[in-house]
Amino acid sequence: MVFWSNRRLPRPEMPRLRPRVAPTALAKVDFTELVPEPVPFLGQAAYIQLEFFESLARSVATAPTLSAKEGLSRAAGGALRQHHALIAELRRLGVEPVEVMAPFAPAAERFRLASAGADWYELLLGIHVTAGMLDDYFSRLAEGLPGELATRVRAILAEDEASAGVLHDELFAAIAAEPGLADRLALWGRSLVGDTLLIARSALRASDSRDRGADVEPVFTELIAAHTRRMDALGLTA
Amino acid sequence: MVFWSNRRLPRPEMPRLRPRVAPTALAKVDFTELVPEPVPFLGQAAYIQLEFFESLARSVATAPTLSAKEGLSRAAGGALRQHHALIAELRRLGVEPVEVMAPFAPAAERFRLASAGADWYELLLGIHVTAGMLDDYFSRLAEGLPGELATRVRAILAEDEASAGVLHDELFAAIAAEPGLADRLALWGRSLVGDTLLIARSALRASDSRDRGADVEPVFTELIAAHTRRMDALGLTA
């Protein structure tokens, strides 16, 4: 997964699509300094969306109500559209998407299984937490892609707002209805953070000998802060 | 599931979108004589598409190759679009889709489980055979819907051509590669026909005391003929 380079392509200032996290003293990283190699970046991002689709489809199949099925099927359709839109970007670059995605499949599948949880509620929180963190993260990294590709990829990754709403609403209602659920889900949510950060870090291996880990530490802090707000909104202690 | 009426709305001649079956001496039924009640018709059709989506999503999750995942994920996206397009037609009629679909859920879910098969190949053939027959069938019934609704619903149901191609191609390649598979799948394909015709018939209960079974017998003959051609194309004895 070594696909980062130091080359700094000249590019115009990109407007941020939206501020994803509150500005803090820590949020000093200029992501345009990090230049992801477009092909493996898109391959990993596309495969991760496919995993979110599979998890969401499973949540549709096991949903306890038809109305939950409806909302979640829309979220599944959204993840699938994101997957196919990223695939289309790979085709535009003249590469075969299946070959590009293949190296990322084993880790992404292990990650999906590890975040699937023991029941439907844990599955939903697993998707909410991991997709929330990783879509934010890939969207930030996409700022460093060359030219118009950055804009297009960020627009693709921003599409999951509606899904996040569906997941939040289903979880919120379930937590309100079942007193013991909050504690169990709070624990589960905390346990997901480590694996998610590992996947995020795997997208950051430097292609030179210099370890870029230190450069992006504040971004991980931001991701965790956004995670805490997401859990707070559900009344869960992060 | 009693939702058929004898009322015959005046409507212009509808062009057939495409000839689904070769014309035979048996194919004499004028489907515009059968007037399905739009709301339950759309509810059952929408729920069945959701079941096809769930089966296709499962085939994505268990696909042995990434390239199969790709093709099948497109087919899953197609079934989901069909489901949501039918739901949108229900909303246009001013009804709550979840309430309308609910009565059809138990039978449709039993049907999905019964046609899921023992492994990935049986799952694929299960979708190919049952979606092939039921999409044809609902498309024929849709001819009797009032006015523009008939055209729109037939266009929605015609969208699965690409999916059928993906399923055919994956099965064809697998059968060629694995000598014993053809016999097992031929047997499995035959066993699916009965359950599929039962689901088809459940959409046809007359709302009056007259049994319409006799009127549509030739259509069932057509469905079986189309099924035979589908199996033949895979080199399987129907």
In a domain, A136, yes or no: yes
Q: What angle is formed at CA A134 by the lines to CA A131 and CA A139, rounded to 5 degrees?
A: 115
Work out the number of other CB atoms within 10 angstroms of the CB of residue A151. Answer: 15
Rounded mean pLDDT for each run of 10 residues along chain B, 238 residues in total: 42 40 46 76 95 96 94 95 97 96 91 93 96 92 91 91 89 94 95 89 54 65 91 91
Name every chain A residue with its beta carbon within 8 A of the beta carbon of B55: none
pLDDT at A22 over 90: no
**pLDDT at residue A164, rounded to an integer:** 87
Residue A93's pLDDT band, with cuts at 50, 70 and 90, is very high
Are the C-beta atoms of B219 and B20 separated by less than 8 Å? Answer: no
Q: How far is CA B116 from CA A155, B121, B184, in A?
A: 37, 10, 14
Name every chain A residue with its beta carbon within 8 A of the beta carbon of B77: 77, 80-81, 84
Could you tell me how far CA B132 lies from the centroid of its own chain?
5
CB contact under 8 Å between B98 and A70, yes or no, is: yes
CA trace torsion B152, B154, B155, B159 (10° rounding): 140
Closest to B188 in 3D by CA, of B108, B101, B130, B102? B130
Query: Mean pLDDT lowest for which of A32-36, A41-45, A48-52, A211-215?
Result: A211-215
How many residues are present in chain A?
A: 238
CATH code of residue A140: 1.20.1260.10
**pLDDT at residue B13, rounded to an integer:** 39
Q: How far apart are the first and last CA of chain B?
A: 30
Q: What angle is formed at CA B34 by the lines to CA B29 and CA B36, rounded to 5 degrees?
A: 140
Closest to A134 in 3D by CA, of A175, A212, A192? A192
Residue A96's pLDDT band, with cuts at 50, 70 and 90, is very high
Instruction: Give the containing element (helix H, strand E) for B51.
Output: helix B38-61
pLDDT at A6 over 50: no
- Per 3-state DSSP, what percentage of chain A is helix, strand, and coil (rounded to 5)? 70, 0, 25
Q: Report the chain B residue with the minimal C-alpha distance to residue A73.
A: B80
Ordered DSSP codes for B27-41: ----GGGSEE-HHHH
pLDDT at A5 over 50: no
In a domain, B15, yes or no: no
**pLDDT at residue B151, rounded to an integer:** 95
**pLDDT at residue B167, rounded to an integer:** 96
Q: How far apart are CA B39 and CA B91, in angstroms?
A: 10
Give the residue carrying structure tokens 């999916």. B163
| Single-letter residue type at A64 | P
**pLDDT at residue B32, rounded to an integer:** 55
In a domain, A12, yes or no: no
DSSP B189: H
Give the residue carrying structure tokens 């880990």. A213
In a domain, A123, yes or no: yes
> What is the least distance, in Å, from the CA of B72 to any CA of chain A?
11
In a domain, A65, yes or no: yes
Provide the number of structural domains found in chain A.
Answer: 1
Instruction: Give the containing element (helix H, strand E) for A4.
Output: strand A4-5
In a domain, A17, yes or no: no
**pLDDT at residue B172, rounded to an integer:** 96
**pLDDT at residue B33, rounded to an integer:** 61
- Rounded mean pLDDT, A75-88: 96
Are the C-beta atoms of B135 and B79 separated by less than 8 Å? Answer: no
Cβ neighbors of A211 (< 8 A, separation 6 or more) are none
Closest to A88 in 3D by CA, of A132, A32, A43, A27? A43
Tokens of B96: 């709550």
CB contact under 8 Å between A58 and B53, yes or no, is: no
Are the C-beta atoms of A44 and A226 separated by less than 8 Å? Answer: no
Q: How far apart are CA B111 and CA B196, in angstroms?
A: 8
Give the residue carrying structure tokens 């499962």. B58
**pLDDT at residue A214, rounded to an integer:** 52
**pLDDT at residue A206, rounded to an integer:** 31
Name every chain B residue with its beta carbon within 8 A of the beta carbon of A67: 98
> What is the least distance, in Å, from the CA of B125 to any CA of chain A?
20
Name every chain A residue with its beta carbon within 8 A of the beta carbon of B86: none
| B102 in reach of chain A (CB within 8 A) | yes
**pLDDT at residue A8, rounded to an integer:** 42
Instruction: Give the containing element (helix H, strand E) for B90.
Output: helix B66-92
What's the number of CA atoms in the CB half-sphere (13 Å) around residue A192?
A: 31
In a domain, B64, yes or no: yes
**pLDDT at residue A29, rounded to an integer:** 54
Work out the number of other CB atoms within 10 angstroms of the CB of residue A12. Answer: 6
**pLDDT at residue A55, rounded to an integer:** 96
pLDDT at A19 over 70: no
Q: Report the chain A residue with the minimal C-alpha distance to residue B106.
A: A66
Tens of pLDDT, residues A147-178 = 899 999 999 999 877 788 999 999 999 999 99
Instruction: Give the containing element (helix H, strand E) for A172.
Output: helix A161-177
Q: Please give the interface size between A and B, counted as residue pairs whose CB atoms are below 8 Å apart.
A: 63
Q: How far apart are CA B200 and CA A142, in angstroms?
A: 49
Cβ neighbors of A209 (< 8 A, separation 6 or more) are none
DSSP A16: P
Mutate to test the interface with A, among B69, B82, B101, B112 (most CBs of A within 10 A): B69
In a domain, A8, yes or no: no
Q: How far apart are CA B49 and CA B44, in angstroms?
A: 9
Q: How far apart are CA A234 and CA A128, in angstroms?
A: 11
Write out the residue range of the structural domain in which residue B202 sits.
34-233
